Structure 1
Amino acid sequence: MNAAQLAFFRERLLNERKELEEHLKEVKAAISSHERDSDEADQASFEEELSLALRQADRESRLINNIDAALKRIENGEYGYCEETGDPIGIARLLFRPTAKLCIEAKERQEQKEHHYRKTRGE
């Protein structure tokens, strides 16, 4: 991967990280600003919304960690290469998922193993 491509992905990852951080701040502000309602239906509705927001925030926090790891791989010169095989991941896959650590073939193998494992556990 050339320097311009690395710069493109670095900027894209930084922008995505910034957007996620801003959204997490909004979620935290919404949670902290909520006042308890005396109406049980309103409170139940808020708690359901809160549950969804917390799951979303958890996913976004994990994505921020993945973004940080991808940025570290850019700095180390390892970005764009499969952690399993060492082969190039491919620009198309990185455009779709800039935090990708595995080439498509390795990812497919991983998913097949996970599917097989779930299947053997009876899920």
Structure 2
Amino acid sequence: MSKTAVVYWSQSGNTEAMANALADAMGTEAVEVSSFSADSVADYDALAFGCPAMGDEELDPDFEEVWNDCLPALGERPVGLFGSYDWGTGEWMETWKSAAEDAGVNVVGTVIANLEPDDEALGELRALGERLLA
């Protein structure tokens, strides 16, 4: 079994709920982004990062700082991206995924939820967890 990390930032609790569901599916714990750093990446075989859409469909600046620090350390590890949004279309996730792939990240999947994760999003999180553990 792979050693995995689920790293997230949440403002309203919706992305935290997603992080906890994904962590439960993978048999690991969710870690708030302020407790994670690029130095931690080497300890894991696969990682998932979660951040809600902020402002004009963008990542939270504090989360993005840690994410950008982690980018060079991710290598070929499988990475999942997830988060919630309140308005808009979820464009921030497509932008985030494209930028990650352009940086060489092995993105194996993304999951978004409009506000609180519903049954469909929870199922997608379980499927993402399976891909990360494979």
Bin for the TM-score computed over the shorter chain: under 0.3
More helix by share: 1
Quick one: higher RCO (CA 8 Å, sep 6+), 1 or 2?
2
Q: Return the index of the structure with the highest Cα Rg.
A: 1
Give the structure-1-normalised TM-score: 0.23
